[in-house]
Amino acid sequence: MENKKELKNWLNAFNLKHPLVIAGPCSAETEEQVLTIAHQLKNSDATVMRAGIWKPRTRPGNFEGVGALGLKWLQKAKEETGLLIATEVANANHVDLALEHDVDLLWIGARTTVSPFIVQEIAEALQGTDKIVLVKNPVNPDLSLWLGAVERFHTAGINNLGVIHRGFSTYEKTRYRNNPEWQIPIDLQNRFPDLPLILDPSHIAGRRDIIFDLCQTALDLNYDGLMVETHHNPDKAWSDASQQITPDTLDQYTKDLKIRKEVGEAAEFKNRINTLRTQIDVIDHQLIDMIGKRMKVADDIGALKKAHNVAVLQTKRWNEILGKMILQGEEKNLSEEFILRMFKAIHQESINHQEKIIKK
């Protein structure tokens, strides 16, 4: 990807604003739904309308998309509103159908990026196209796999290329549907600063209430755009209902988001510091998560102590824990004084928790 500089040009060539806003439903459901959403988006900051036509579902039996019929609805939405249209393609046949229906932007889903054979097939079907192609990160946190897919499209002569960060799956339950692992897109951005990077906060969040914050983090990290699942009646959506927002909410979000786009040396400094601050934020979240988990275990111990009539405070065990933590802290360059203060606070909170349980 030596001519990276050219990669960001399509944002200008297609006359797309900064940040690029792609919005629309998880899935096209009916003609009326597609057109209603398109008209609501028409006067928003969104310039591209998305809708899934073929839906890759984790388990069978869920809504798997309306198929090629939905492409006609998208085409109609484009005619009526002037929005560009976007959909996910997962094989060469999808590509042919999307091109026949004049889809402007095709994205590669997270479950497709993991498979080099299928990526190659799609890249060959798209050979030399001037459509915009965005590659979502693979479901697993693997930067090479993501880059490998981008390279296959680049080699196939696709220059209007970009990537979408949609988070990574984990077995462990977190506050996200897909863990953001910001470090991975940050690494990618450092290596290919001119490859447009778009955030999909919807599939990271899996729920509405944290979408705004995710968007702000992305803009602070100098992302080029957002792809947000948007539905006129989110609760009634046929797929991903809990993470969709209305076009009105999206409009409010794009008004409230702070866009920090600067150039030159000052921008480099700001990007770097924002990146580092975001890393700190991510770690702080993890710290609170971990401490919350620790308190839950303390609660279980409290219940057990209550059942067996054992005292809450057990000084001997506490001193043992502290001794071990001081040693481990030393290895990480953390002072004894800090470890003592931190664990006293944590221990006090555990005791408070246990006393509450015992008094119940």
Q: Which residues bind to Mn ion, rule: CB under 5 A?
A: 26, 240
Q: Quick one: which of 180, 184, 236, 233 has its CA closest to 206?
A: 180
Q: Quick one: which of 116, 46, 122, 121 has its CA closest to 81?
A: 46
CB of 332 to Mn ion, least distance (A): 40
Assign 258 to helix, strand or coil: coil
Estimate to the nearest angstrom the gap between the alpha carbon of 251 and the chain centroid: 19
Q: Is 110 in the site for ligand PEP (CB under 6 A)?
A: yes
Are 188 and 171 in contact by the 8 Å Cβ rule? The answer is no
Residue nearest to ligand PEP (CB): 109
Which residue lies nearer to Mn ion by CB, 77 or 227?
Answer: 227
- CA triplet 76, 82, 88: central angle to 5 degrees? 65
Which residue lies nearer to ligand PEP by CB, 86 or 156?
Answer: 86
Q: Which does 110 bind (CB under 5 to 8 A by kind): ligand PEP, Mn ion, none?
A: ligand PEP
Q: Is 231 in the site for ligand PEP (CB under 6 A)?
A: no
Q: Quick one: which of 100, 116, 8 has its CA closest to 53?
A: 100
- CA triplet 351, 356, 357: central angle to 5 degrees? 100
Give residues 76-95 in contact with ligand PEP (rule: CB under 6 A).
Answer: 88
Q: Which of 78, 94, 101, 136 binds ligand PEP (CB under 6 A)?
A: 136
CB of 53 to Mn ion, least distance (A): 12
Which residue lies nearer to ligand PEP by CB, 57 or 293?
Answer: 57
Rounded-to-integer distance, Cα 25 and Cα 358, Å = 49
Single out the segment in contact with ligand PEP by CB under 6 A; choices: 36-44, 105-113, 118-126, 299-307: 105-113
Window 11-30: contact mask with ligand PEP (x via CB under 6 A): ---------------x----
Single out the segment in contact with ligand PEP by CB under 6 A; choices: 106-114, 123-131, 217-225, 334-342: 106-114
Rounded-to-integer distance, Cα 270 and Cα 98, Å = 40
- Which residues are CB-neighbours of 80 under 8 A, at least 6 positions away? 35, 38, 39
Single out the segment in contact with ligand PEP by CB under 6 A; choices: 104-112, 123-131, 144-152, 261-269: 104-112
* Helical H segments across 127-221, by residue range: 143-155, 183-191, 201-205, 211-220
Which residue lies nearer to ligand PEP by CB, 108 or 298?
Answer: 108
Q: Which does 136 bind (CB under 5 to 8 A by kind): Mn ion, ligand PEP, none?
A: ligand PEP
Binding residues vs ligand PEP (CB under 6 A): 26, 52, 56, 88, 109-111, 136, 166, 203
